[in-house]
Structure 1
Amino acid sequence: MRNSPRVMAMARPGALPVPADRKISALTMPSVLDRWSEDAAGLRALAQGDATITMFDVIGEDFWSGGGITAKSVASQLRAIGDRPVEVQVNSPGGDMFEGIAIYNVLREHAQPVTIKVMGMAASAASIVAMAGDRVEIGAASFLMIHNCWVMAIGNRHDMAETSEWLAPFDQAMAEVYAARSGRSAAECAKWMDAESYMSGSVAIERGFADALLPADQVKVDDDAKAREQSANKLRSMELTLVSAGMSRSQARARINEIKGTPGAAPDDGTPGAAGDQTADIQADLTSLLAAVTGR
């Protein structure tokens, strides 16, 4: 009997156009989360107007930090702003592609001009959000990253072929969004997606993904926020590793919380050193756990 691919999901049950026994979600790769945490996490605007929306978090609800940017929250902020031009400041590693597409459409439906400012990184699903801007500005040292729809799956070659076929229209949809904003062909954008391309400010402008550079003095680094996000990213990576080893998402979270000794707790909001020490202890325990689960 052939088993269906085991693919991790963030979306609500029934929210995806797939059979009920299939769980698939398009997520940011762990390597992107690591790079965001190391190079760009914790960026904050020095001055924000009352018509500014900040997206300094993952796209979609985030179990580990209790945060996340959702289409529902963005729509609520737009209603509060009203019929005025909006500025959206972005520093995000991405997250759930489907939530990113929803946020993109919510912003595109706003009746007044939308200016997107990439303050640190707009990767994966966050790059889709960035394409919603009537004007897109990016820091000289900021990055926009695009790649193909990314999932985790377990199964035989037939399962993998079926999953690949299922993913194809979503990659095409993303390529068309990038093409519409940049003026490049969908085929050219698809090649950049295949290469998992990181575009600096000048490259993003050259390729049409952005219109202009940001003044360098508009952002500063918040080291405490950066340390907290690094801790949260490590927990997310641990969760992905356990799922890839055969656990369900709920089992992985329960096991990590059991090791932490504080079920249901989010990452430590204390000092950066304390968070790092706690995560190191969890990592050591998980190494032993994975050896038991995988037999290696």
Structure 2
Amino acid sequence: MLPNILKETVRGIQPILIEDEMLQHREVFLIEEVNRKSATDMIKQLMYLDRIDTGKPVTVYINSPGGEVVSGLAVYDYIKVMKSPVNTVCMGSAASMGAILFLAGKERSMLKNSEIMIHDPSFSAGNISGKKPLEIQERLDQLMDTREKLAGIIAERTGMTKKQVYQKTEKDSYLNAEESLKCGIATKIIE
């Protein structure tokens, strides 16, 4: 449970969740795995902020190991259609789908000792034992389509070519803040 802070209101001194206070300042956090629940929570917060003060910037702070591609892309797509500009800040680590969400930001800042990890999507949720060759091939084709989609996002947001992206994502690539800035993943380092 998040700690409360005390704030003076017209009703006197009231305990308020820190998360609520941060949301009032248009700050959203992804500090967990990307999954259906965390993605839905983020989208609701972003919708609310876009609705109450359209056009005013929102900051998304990320420290995430990544997670589900479909859920993450739902958040990414929503950020890209918002009327309010969204800036992202990497605190700690933005890995895998966390890195893709980091790339959704108009301005993408990293704390000095943060890192980004990008890689090809993996075949993790399904068991292929007992599957026939064409069923396995169908799953592999879906995985390659996802790889193409994610590489397209990275290339578009960074200015890298898809060939450069594929070279970086064929294995887990950990990039510190300076390396991220140099290859276009980050736009600024916060010191």
TM-score normalised according to structure 1 size: 0.51
1:80 Cα shift?
A: 4.2
1:210 Cα shift?
A: 0.4
- Partner of 1:176 in structure 2? 152
Matched letter for residue 198 of structure 1 = Y
Matched letter for residue 128 of structure 2 = I
Distance 1:83 1:210 in 2: 23
- Partner of 1:41 in structure 2? none
Residue 126 (structure 1) aligned with residue 98 (structure 2): yes
Alignment of 1:1-296 (within 5 A): 48=22, 50-61=25-36, 68-70=38-40, 72-73=43-44, 74-152=46-124, 153-155=127-129, 158=133, 159-215=135-191
Matched letter for residue 43 of structure 2 = K
Q: Kindly tell me: are residues 69 and 85 of structure 1, through their superposed partners in 2, closer, same or farther at Cα, counting changes over 3 Å?
A: same
Q: Kindly tell me: are residues 78 and 180 of structure 1, through their superposed partners in 2, closer, same or farther at Cα, counting changes over 3 Å?
A: same
1:132 Cα shift?
A: 0.9
Query: Deviation above 4 Å: which 4+ runs of structure 1?
Result: none
Q: Kindly tell me: are residues 80 and 124 of structure 1, through their superposed partners in 2, closer, same or farther at Cα, counting changes over 3 Å?
A: farther
1:106 Cα shift?
A: 1.0
Q: Kindly tell me: are residues 140 and 181 of structure 1, through their superposed partners in 2, closer, same or farther at Cα, counting changes over 3 Å?
A: same
Deviations, residues 38-72 of structure 1 (Å, cap 9, x unaligned): xxxxxx99x9561111111211236xxxxx23353
- Find the residue that maps to 2:93 and give its secondary structure: strand
Q: Kindly tell me: are residues 80 and 119 of structure 1, through their superposed partners in 2, closer, same or farther at Cα, counting changes over 3 Å?
A: farther
Matched letter for residue 154 of structure 1 = I
1:209 Cα shift?
A: 0.3
- Find the residue that maps to 1:199 and give its secondary structure: strand
- Identical-pair percentage: 23
Distance 2:48 2:145 in 1: 30
Structure exhibiting the larger radius of gyration computed from Cα positions: 1
Unaligned runs of 5+ in 2: 1-17
- Find the residue that maps to 2:144 and give its secondary structure: helix
- In terms of fraction of residues, the more strand-rich structure is 2
Distance 1:185 1:121 in 2: 24
Q: Kindly tell me: are residues 80 and 53 of structure 1, through their superposed partners in 2, closer, same or farther at Cα, counting changes over 3 Å?
A: farther
1:94 Cα shift?
A: 1.0
RMSD: 2.3
1:81 Cα shift?
A: 4.8
Q: 1:51, 1:81 within 8 Å by CA — same for their partners in 2?
A: no
Deviations, residues 158-182 of structure 1 (Å, cap 9, x unaligned): 2433321221111000001000111
Q: 1:58, 1:94 within 8 Å by CA — same for their partners in 2?
A: yes
Q: 2:39, 2:74 within 8 Å by CA — same for their partners in 1?
A: no
